Structure 1
Amino acid sequence: MPAQNQNNKILIAYFSWSGNARALAGQIAQETGGDLFEIKTVKVYPDTYNECIEVAKQEQDRNDRPAISGSVTNMAQYGTVFLCYPNWWGTLPMGVFTFLESYDFSGKTMYPLITHGGSRFGRSLEDIKKLCPRSVIGEGLSVSAFDTNPKDGTRVTVPNRDLNSWLRRLGMSR
């Protein structure tokens, strides 16, 4: 059940390198009528998988907070936030850390959705709780998107039946 908030608008914030999280975020927006916001780093990640994961590992080792472009207009209007992201080295991409540290999520209900190649949420839920201690972290969903070369195209099935069932359980389908 979403936290009580003066506004019940829905934000779907997503970070996507391969297109998987973007596709699922789009499906959430279509099913809920929520607003989409892409968490996009100013510095673009390499196109090849191995180079990208190396850069991501270096960012994590340095505890970087990469700059992101754009911002959410009037975050206060949102009572519910779906946060969609891939599992990078066991947690959130560092640009998602930047996003979460840029806003006050107090009193908001957050529903994490992670795409992964087998490691599910890793420690990302614990990291979200540390970054947003005054928000309610609702039931999350992990979607397997394993493939040897994710840039070849979206690997998750959209529409995704697991996502539809999850949204129904949350009472978020239109």
Structure 2
Amino acid sequence: MNNNGSKILVAYFSWSGNTKAVAEEIHKQVGGDIVEIVPETPYSETYSVTVAKAKAEQASNARPAISTKIADFDKYDTIYLGYPNWWGSMPMPVATFIDTYKMSGKKVAPFFTHGGGGVQRCMSDLEARAAGAKFTDYLCLSGSSAKKSQGEISSWVKKTQN
């Protein structure tokens, strides 16, 4: 719980560990609960295999099953939701998460990591998929700097708590 009494959830999807590092730093700063969005069928550790699977999932608008279960999602007021930019948008397990756990009426603080593509459609696709949520400004970090961005994360976190 942060200082305004909001119940906070930090939810993230991470393949390489960069988004996980950002999520853990956010959690350290805001408290609340943290959960990883985990696909039931893991992605390969081989980059090219993961690229092929993820691109096919995006092309077919797939909703891969996730093993992530949140018992009482309704109790959360604020969701810090993070994921890597995969080919301009969200990894499809994140779409499954959003479809499963409705964001309407919640404050959503989005954070993204990328390998050079920046934010692209990550924010606009999230806004379209999570209709009814109240969005803060997003945080977008290069994956290569994700593990050493505590100051930038802290500045962003402060803005999300207004």
TM-score by length of 2: 0.92
Which residue does the alignment assign to 1:30? 28
1:71 to 69, 72, 77: 69
Higher relative contact order (CA 8 A, sep 6+): 1
Which residue does the alignment assign to 1:150? none
Q: Which runs of 5+ in 2 are unaligned?
A: none
Residue pair 2:84, 2:114 contacting (<8 A) in 1 also: yes
Structure 1 residue 163 and structure 2 residue 153: aligned? yes
**Superimposed CA distance per residue, residues 30-87 of structure 1 (whole angstroms, 9 cap, x where no aligned partner):** 1011210110000110102122111110111111100000311211111100011000
Q: How many residues align?
A: 159
Task: Identify the structure with the greater helix proportion.
Answer: 2
Which residue does the alignment assign to 1:134? 132
Amino acid paired to 2:99: E
Amino acid paired to 1:36: I
SS in 2 for 1:68: coil
Identical counterparts, % of pairs: 38
**Superimposed CA distance per residue, residues 141-174 of structure 1 (whole angstroms, 9 cap, x where no aligned partner):** 000014xxxxxxxx622452211111122337xx
SS in 2 for 1:98: helix
Moved more, 77-86 or 116-125: 116-125
Report runs of 4+ in structure 1 exceeding 4 Å deviation: none
Structure 1 residue 82 and structure 2 residue 80: aligned? yes
Residue pair 1:8, 1:77 contacting (<8 A) in 2 also: no
Residue pair 1:64, 1:94 contacting (<8 A) in 2 also: yes
Amino acid paired to 1:160: Q
Distance in 2 separating the partners of 1:10 and 1:37:
11
Distance in 2 separating the partners of 1:156 and 1:121:
14
TM-score by length of 1: 0.86
SS in 2 for 1:85: strand
Q: Which runs of 5+ in 1 are unaligned?
A: 147-154
Amino acid paired to 2:53: V
